[in-house]
């Protein structure tokens, strides 16, 4: 049974930084594309970043480009999201997501970690 567990969320001031981690178990992460998707309180889902199996290809949503950095360590079965220059509108639950096939077949999700950006 695959399992994804995010950590690293919390309260941070505008302009601050936070690093999210996602540990996976029950499968080898090296065989999958991975994504971060977020959901602001009471709002819909927003894709924010994708990383290929080897990390050679990365995409970002315009809303986070230049501020967030996705990375992965397949040996540790871990996915990361470095978030810098955080803004109030980055407040959301951040989900670590496994992608079974390229193009949105997001078949396994973590439970999410809440990031709150507030002064």
Partner 1 sequence: QSALTQPASVSGSPGQSITISCAGTTSDVGRYDLVSWFQQYPGKAPKLIIFEVIKRPSGVSDRFSGSKSGNTASLTISGLQTEDEADYYCCSYAGTSRYVLFGGGTKLTVL
Q: Does 101 bind partner 1 (CB under 8 A)?
A: yes
Q: Does 89 bind partner 1 (CB under 8 A)?
A: no
Distance in Å, CB of 75 to partner 1, minimum: 26
Beta strands in the chain (DSSP E): 3-7, 10-12, 18-25, 33-39, 45-51, 58-60, 68-73, 78-83, 92-101, 105-109, 113-117
Q: Does 2 bind partner 1 (CB under 8 A)?
A: no
Q: Which two tokens stand for residue 35?
A: 């994504």
Q: Does 44 bind partner 1 (CB under 8 A)?
A: yes
Q: Does 66 bind partner 1 (CB under 8 A)?
A: no
Q: Does 8 bind partner 1 (CB under 8 A)?
A: no
Distance in Å, CB of 15 to partner 1, minimum: 27
Give 111: exposed, middle or buried? Use CB within 10 Å, 0-12, 13-18, 19+. exposed
Closest to partner 1 by CB, 111 or 118 = 111
């Amino acid at each position: 049974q695959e399992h994804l567990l995010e950590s690293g969320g919390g309260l941070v001031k505008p302009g601050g930084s936070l690093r999210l981690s996602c540990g996976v178990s029950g499968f080898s992460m090296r065989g999958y594309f991975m994504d971060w998707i977020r959901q602001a309180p009471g709002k819909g889902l927003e894709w924010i970043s994708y990383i290929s199996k080897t990390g050679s290809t990365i995409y970002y949503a315009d809303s986070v480009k230049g501020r967030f950095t996705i990375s992965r360590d397949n040996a540790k079965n871990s996915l990361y999201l470095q978030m810098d220059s955080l803004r109030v509108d980055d407040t959301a639950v951040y989900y670590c997501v496994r992608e079974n096939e390229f193009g949105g077949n997001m078949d396994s999700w973590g439970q999410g970690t809440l990031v709150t950006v507030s002064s």
